[in-house]
Amino acid sequence: MAVNNDGHLLDDSSNVAVDFVWGPLPVQPNDERAASVSQIGGSTDDYAWSATTKVASGRLDPVLDNHSAVEAGWAAYPSYFPAAGNYIVTAASGNGTTVSYTSQNNLAVGDSVNITGLSAGAYNLSSATVATANKLGFTVTNSANAGAITGQSYGKVELVSAAGSGDGSGIGYIVVPDVQRLTTASAIDALKDAGYEAGNITTASTFTPVISAITLTSNVASVTATGHGYAVGDVVVIAGLTNGGGNASADADLNGTYTITVVPDANNFRFAKTHGNITTHSGLSGNTAKVAAYNGKIYSQSTAPATAAVSTSATITITPYYAS
């Protein structure tokens, strides 16, 4: 290999050969010290620095788990001025007059705090005043007494004054996953993994789209079923259409299994059907449409997927399709 003027080996691109390189710097915490970084200068290459302008330090992204971990892990690190109080709570207990929390923290007596995300809801308090505090825990005066809870993964204590996302409020918060079309059991598991407490996940009554109108023109059936939730390519089952009675034009031949070809909106879908035309009619009742592959799987969720900064004490409702 060639060498440069200093005797260092060069690689094939004539760069100094190295055995290894350091990886990227680890993510840094929310250090609230401002930098003094104004530049002054005159002619070319004549530059200096003067402490005349303050530039706020960068902020962590509360949506990212590793940023939340950094915020918690760097608290109380030497020479680090942490963002306002925001700490993990791992255990709690009450005796009817005082609630004690296990938490590595920098809280002080008199601080006003919000406690969230604990499995015993009685210990999730708002604007509680810290009565005593040390580096490993703190207490508040409160009558809550739900016994001792340990092994808490999503408990958090935060100064009331630190409610903004810029102060690391991602700790103990949830980014809502998309559980639609998962089985109910898998959906609940995904919500727990994201941070929801089991008691805050509600399963609603099942949903089956009801046909309110139908038309067949030139071998294309157009069906109205409010909020059906289907997509192009889904195999839909039509059932309950009858001949005669008050809906003579509701041809029973339309009952069957079809592949959806068009979904113009959330309330309508179309499929191919070789049959004579059937004029538009409505007022149907007792007629259903469903996709067999979705039986028992989640139709909707009350909080939209990818919603960020949702508290672990929040509730969510999932609604499955009807399971035949």
The percentage of the chain sitting over the pLDDT mark of 90, rounded to a whole number, equals: 27
Is the model's pLDDT at 261 over the cut of 90? yes
Mean pLDDT across 175-198: 86
For residue 186, the one-letter residue type is S
CA 177 – CA 318 distance, rounded (Å): 12
CATH 2.40.30.20 range(s) for the chain read 65-71+83-173, 213-294
For residue 41, the one-letter residue type is G
pLDDT number for residue 64: 55
Out of 57-61, 187-191, 255-259, which region has the weakest mean confidence (pLDDT)? 57-61
pLDDT number for residue 67: 57
Give the predicted TM-score (pTM) of the model: 0.45
Higher model confidence: residue 316 or residue 311?
Answer: 316
Is the model's pLDDT at 207 over the cut of 50? yes
pLDDT number for residue 271: 94
Question: Is 87:105 a contact under the CB 8 Å cutoff?
Answer: yes
- 18-38 core/surface letters (b: 16 or more CB in 10 A; e: else): eeeeeeeeeeebbbeeeeeee
CATH class of 213-294: mainly beta
The percentage of the chain sitting over the pLDDT mark of 70, rounded to a whole number, equals: 67
Task: Name the band, by pLDDT with cuts 50, 70 and 90, for residue 87.
Answer: confident
CA 278 – CA 238 distance, rounded (Å): 16
CA 27 – CA 18 distance, rounded (Å): 25
Under 8 Å CB-to-CB from 44, ≥6 apart: which residues?
A: none
Out of 76-80, 88-92, 105-109, 201-205, which region has the weakest mean confidence (pLDDT)? 76-80
Is the model's pLDDT at 62 over the cut of 60? no
Task: Name the band, by pLDDT with cuts 50, 70 and 90, for residue 162.
Answer: low
Is the model's pLDDT at 201 over the cut of 80? yes
Is the model's pLDDT at 37 over the cut of 50? no
Task: Name the band, by pLDDT with cuts 50, 70 and 90, for residue 300.
Answer: very high
Task: Name the band, by pLDDT with cuts 50, 70 and 90, for residue 263.
Answer: very high
Mean pLDDT of the chain: 75
What secondary structure does DSSP assign to 4-71, as a single string? -TTS-BB-TTSSBP-S----PPPPP----PPEEEEEEE-STT-EEEEEEEEEPPP---TTSHHHHHHH
Tokens 């809502």 found at: 176
Under 8 Å CB-to-CB from 156, ≥6 apart: which residues?
A: 86, 87, 88, 89, 115, 116, 117, 171, 172, 173, 312
DSSP summary character for residue 191: H
Sign of CA dihedral 287, 283, 181, 318: negative
Sign of CA dihedral 258, 262, 267, 273: negative
CATH class of 65-71+83-173: mainly beta
Out of 103-107, 205-209, 229-233, 246-250, which region has the weakest mean confidence (pLDDT)? 246-250
